């Protein structure tokens, strides 16, 4: 029985109630035997895990999609009413959706542990596939986060709201992150992380705290990553510590770039996709 495949099935159908019988059929076992095997592997039943996955996504929608009402978030997460969603959220997360919206409540521990404990996304065991590509200059608008990485969610929330205000949807305007530092290599006060998006020809509003820069034209090493951010970290580690030496290359004068193609919570974690770019000399 491929439990990882069943986890993906639960995530892909996060907006529906999935019955034990339905999962048992997919597993090829009786409902009783399937539930026993599932709980032995993960420590909780499939119903409980399904609820955690839905509420984990609910937290991200509440925090980073403020234009959605609580009812809209509830429906996105497979609940038929805002009351049912709020009760489940309070019971499992220990806070209410309003706490998340009004106070910027940090992700509750039962949900923050979800990926590490239940979604066993393996780190990259095979050598990443790296290709050399040529990029033309890309003009972007940047909101810089400088300071403690723990405060990054607030900057991200500001960036998402600014993009929406200026009608810059990710489907039309490319989304980038510039990685200036490894959080483990600098003090929290010196950490820099840039949030960027491709800009249109028209004038933009509320840009006083933004920077207009260009991703330089040039030759780049690119890795396509599908999955959680742990796989991005593995790809970056390979590019910096193996690829450059093995291919007699040198990094250019620009930070690592992550282009976000598909991202959570719009898609499940295992369907997230990005390009990791490293400028070469």
Q: What is the pLDDT of residue 170?
A: 94
Identify the CA nearest to 128 among candidates 250, 222, 220: 222
User: What is residue 122's three-state secondary structure?
Assistant: coil
The domains of the chain are located at: 3-118, 130-279
Task: Going residue by residue through the chain, which has 281 residues, state the pLDDT in tens, using 9 for 90 and above.
Answer: 567 777 778 777 777 778 888 888 888 889 888 888 888 877 888 888 888 888 999 999 999 998 999 999 999 888 989 999 999 999 988 899 999 988 877 888 888 876 666 655 444 557 889 999 999 999 999 999 999 998 999 999 999 999 999 999 999 999 999 999 998 899 999 999 999 999 999 999 999 999 999 999 999 999 999 887 878 988 999 999 999 999 999 999 999 999 999 998 888 887 899 999 999 99
Q: What is the pLDDT of residue 104?
A: 78
Token pair of 255, please?
């930070």
Q: Which CATH superfamily is domain 130-279 in?
A: Regulatory factor, effector binding domain (3.20.80.10)
- H/E stretch holding 244: helix 244-246
CA angle 156, 160, 166 (to 5 degrees): 145
Q: Which CATH number fits domain 3-118: 1.10.10.60, 1.20.120.330, 1.10.15.40, 3.30.300.30?
A: 1.10.10.60
Q: CA-CA distance, 63 to 16, in Å (whole number)?
A: 22
Which of the 8 DSSP states describes residue 78?
T
Residues contacting residue 262 through CB under 8 Å, at least 6 positions apart: 271, 272, 273, 274
Q: What is the pLDDT of residue 116?
A: 63
Q: CA-CA distance, 190 to 148, in Å (whole number)?
A: 8
| Count of residues in the chain | 281
Residues contacting residue 5 through CB under 8 Å, at least 6 positions apart: none
């Amino acid at each position: 029985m491929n439990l990882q495949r069943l986890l993906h099935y639960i995530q892909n159908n996060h907006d529906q109630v999935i019955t034990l019988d339905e999962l048992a059929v997919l597993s090829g076992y009786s409902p009783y035997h399937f539930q026993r095997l599932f709980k032995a592997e993960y420590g909780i039943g499939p119903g409980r895990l399904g609820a955690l996955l839905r509420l984990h996504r609910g937290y991200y929608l509440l925090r980073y999609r403020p234009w959605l009402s609580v009812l809209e978030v509830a429906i996105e997460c497979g609940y038929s009413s805002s009351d049912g969603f709020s009760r489940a959220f309070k019971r499992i997360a220990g806070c209410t959706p309003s706490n998340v919206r009004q106070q910027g409540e940090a992700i509750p521990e039962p949900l923050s542990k979800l990926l590490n404990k239940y979604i066993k996304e393996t780190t990259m065991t095979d050598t990443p596939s790296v290709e050399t590509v040529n990029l033309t200059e890309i003009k972007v608008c940047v909101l810089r986060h400088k300071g403690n990485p723990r405060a990054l969610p607030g900057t991200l929330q500001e960036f998402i709201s600014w993009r929406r205000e200026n009608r810059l949807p990710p489907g039309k305007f490319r989304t980038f992150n510039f990685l200036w530092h490894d959080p483990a290599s600098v003090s929290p006060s010196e950490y820099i992380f840039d949030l960027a998006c491709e800009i249109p020809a028209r004038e933009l509003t509320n840009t006083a705290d933004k920077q207009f820069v260009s991703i330089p034209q040039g030759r780049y090493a690119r890795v396509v990553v599908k999955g959680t951010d742990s796989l991005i970290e593995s790809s970056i580690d390979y590019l910096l510590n193996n690829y450059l030496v093995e291919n007699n290359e040198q990094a250019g004068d620009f930070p690592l770039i992550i282009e976000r193609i598909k991202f959570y919570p719009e898609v499940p974690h295992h369907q997230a996709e990005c390009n990791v770019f490293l400028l070469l000399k």
